[in-house]
Structure 1
């Protein structure tokens, strides 16, 4: 409430990323006019020209990154949230190589893409309360669950990551997504992810989406730890070492 009063006096609102002037950049030379970004933007911040090329309207943009997650060509980036940054974070994760380590087959690695609005604070609160979370999981914060590009999931699985979690805001009657459609779009994109898993001949259980609110800090660790144990029962990613 105090933040709202202060921001109103400055002519601002309290939506996430208030004051952030890091708007998306479009490398239009590679744009295929697929219209995914313009159709999925929940704020109507992307118009189209006669060819279907996106025309950004910064006055409407809330920097949620949903267009970033929608683009199959990965031509959309922010200065502080780019394709290279997420890709580098995935590449930096050390996956045990069975070609060099005989016990690597028994060592697992997981990635959790977590929304910075509810899921990440819930994890912080859980940690501050001494709740143990599996050390095998590497957490990558995202602006919104809708900002997770399915290409990143394919890259992580090809690298040998054993399981991937996407944790965002709640769906259904208690819908709490700060950017309106982020969690809904993430769940819809899971259909493409399942095709990727089938193409790679991997179990569909290796990628899951969960919704939490910030008050679920006492449950989020259980979600993560249970997922880790489920994947351990399935076995390691066969792409380790490739």
Structure 2
């Protein structure tokens, strides 16, 4: 009974930290999604310079660990360029996650666009549409349905990866759990923390599954 009372007493702090975790996950993915569209279009562009720049961006952020990128942005960059000293831990985490996730989403979007039969682009051009109009009106509306499953999976991964921000002392769910465990000298707090992660992951998984069915993903 004492253990249950302890867990109940920890819940307000854990739920508040959960709000930080959710806010970071949602804002990072939404920001990354916007950036990813431009990166994906740049990656398949006929412009060699643009294609190379977007390709290099994607290679860098996919090829280096998110944790190292977070360290670099929060600790290293201010030493190199003092003007980039980011005081807000949440802002630093948001920037790092947005830049990193954009690289992964860009590849998802690129693959979805290129999976559409090339004949449709040629037919659209033959009907008088410009390349940009054909992409916007014909190709992308079909491709976005194929993007939904991997983008949803990426969101769930980001939700769990937010635990990395505890390394810069941002009070997310993981960091708050560690604080309670240290202050109260009790490892019981990891039980409700894991349950909270399971619940929010499960809720978003159900939402995404329904979204996939509604959009008839595999038609």
Normalising to structure 2: TM-score of the pair? 0.27
Q: Which has the higher strand share?
A: 1
Q: Which has the larger radius of gyration?
A: 2
Between 1 and 2, higher relative CO (CA 8 Å, sep ≥ 6) is seen in 2
Q: Which has the higher helix share?
A: 2
